[in-house]
Amino acid sequence: MALMNHSQYKETLVQARYVTNEVLQKNWYTKLSNISLSVIGQSEEGEEIASITLGRGSKKVLMWSQMHGNESTTTKAALDLVNFLSSKNELAKIINDNCTITLVPILNPDGAKRYTRANANNIDLNRDAKLLSQLESQALRKLFEAFGPDYCFNLHDQRTLFSAGNAKKPATISFLSPASDPERKMNPTRESAMKLIVAMNQELQKEIPGQVGRYDDGFNDNCVGDFFQMKKVPTILFEAGHYPNDYEREKTREYIFHSLIEALKVIAENRIHEFRVADYFKIPENEKRFYDILVKNPQEINPDLTPNVSVGIRFKEVLETNRVLFEPEIVDVAELNGYFGHETFDCSLKNDVEQLHSRKEILNLIVNSKN
């Protein structure tokens, strides 16, 4: 099946990386009609945590985004999904007839406002599943228990450093069916989540071949996905990663949108059994092989550096006046064989050096770098 025309449903008033309650209240919530919008709780600083419910079917799907406040790509994709499900598209009708979907667009509104992973108390909500020490964690748990989902989608962003396996391919999208015990045993709950991931991966491979990864499944029962999987609810971790030249993650947003629709379609049509667990394990595991910028032969412009080293640069995300800036910083000066750059410069090549001279901030980092 051809992928849906994302541009038709994209919420154009919510873009870039800084997405907060205020942004949604100003640009999106006011446009919702005939959709159930509820407040499920408050954040530690008193911000409302909203949920949206769509559909009328018997299969219940719970999804939440921005559990980490600085991970907004999946929130944007979820808004697009709501726009799609509110349309007259035939597939939207099939999903709505067979599924009831509850979405929490921003679980961590205080972290979203600060553009931080943690909440206002500097607690990682994805390490609070058992303790329930934070109001946001309590709100999600109460919703989980009241709604009684058949499936859970845990929506996140991942850093630009991840590759899909050891190939020179960014992990644009990664998935995980979390473990439900320390031995990471297989069981029907995990297998259902794995099969849904296989379904999504098959569609994504048609568009971004080799750019889908499988996240590490180390068990931690204080992680929400692992905890819900322990409760015998198939749970999928979605990780929105890097697509070339897409630091605002608008292209990745599109692929998350398609993934969500495919998963809901398979659930609605009772087709999970058509997919094989073995194909889940064919998805390459994420590896940390990328720098945002990789500079080879830097000693050509900085003679203080020893031969054979390269300079690995990653961008630090900095919030400034409601906008996220990407500030380069050196993280490695070493022999970096087997590592890649989303952008690569070789200082032994004249054209690359000329390009660096037009990138003064990068050039200054290299000139002043040390082993």
Checking phi first, is residue 249 left (phi over 0); if not, alpha (psi -120 to 50) or beta? left
Tokens matching residue 185: 């045993």
What backbone torsions phi and psi does residue 68 show, to the nearest 5 degrees?
A: -100, 120
354 included as an active-site residue: no
Strand, helix or coil for residue 334: strand
Q: Is 5 exposed, middle or buried (0-12, 13-18, 19+ CB in 10 A)?
A: exposed
- Identify whether the C-beta of residue 205 lies closer than 8 Å to the C-beta of residue 212: yes
Residue the block writes with tokens 């659930």: 267
Could you give the CA distance from residue 127 to residue 114 in angstroms, rounded to a whole number? 19
Q: Is the dihedral angle over the CA atoms 76, 82, 84, 90 positive or is it negative?
A: positive
Tokens matching residue 162: 């991840």
Could you give the CA distance from residue 261 to residue 141 in angstroms, rounded to a whole number? 25
CA atoms within 13 A on the CB side of 43: 28
Crossing angle of helices 250-268 and 73-85, rounded to 10°: 50
- Identify whether the C-beta of residue 235 lies closer than 8 Å to the C-beta of residue 154: yes
Q: Is 287 exposed, middle or buried (0-12, 13-18, 19+ CB in 10 A)?
A: middle
Say which of 239, 254, 262, 285 is annotated catalytic. Answer: 239
What backbone torsions phi and psi does residue 246 show, to the nearest 5 degrees?
A: -130, 60
What backbone torsions phi and psi does residue 103 show, to the nearest 5 degrees?
A: -120, 130
What backbone torsions phi and psi does residue 273 show, to the nearest 5 degrees?
A: -65, -15
List residues with catalytic annotation.
Answer: 239
